[in-house]
Amino acid sequence: MAQGSERPVSVAELAKREGLPPKFLALILVELRQQGIVRALRGRDGGYTLAVDPAQLSIAEVVECLSGPVFPLACLASEGRCRECRGHGPCAAELALSRASNAARRELSHLVLADVVSDASRLSKER
């Protein structure tokens, strides 16, 4: 959808083009629609279109929309230590994982969908 076409793309067409099972893709599109990332259009010429500018949509937003936090670890989601750790305050593992999670989130926040589309286009031309 982000490759420049303004026309709606059907689930079947998109699934075939991307090599994904249509039912799996349909579930992803429902999540993206609920978060306002894509728009669904009904009817014979219906399908899905992007609802946001690909230059403004960060990959972090897409990842978190579809799967939650970049690092979905219990110790990062809990207040205080997770039940596996003893003592008080953050443990060394939590500090390290928190730094890694923040770094990954920062990088994914700077990467936008337009960058990914550009990279994919460049790679397909090289092949």
- Given CA atoms 123, 40, 66, 113 in this order, what sign does their dihedral have? positive
Residue 119 is predicted with a pLDDT of 87
- Please identify which residue in the block is written with the tokens 């500090």: 95
- Helix axis angle, 59-67 relative to 22-34, nearest 10°? 110
How high is the pLDDT of residue 81?
Answer: 63
pTM for this predicted structure: 0.74
- In the chain, which stretches have pLDDT less than 50? none
Q: What is the pLDDT of residues 73-91, one digit of tens each?
A: 666 666 666 666 776 777 7
Give the pLDDT score at 101: 85
CA gyration radius, the chain: 19
What tokens appear for 32 in the block? 């993206």
pLDDT at 83: 67
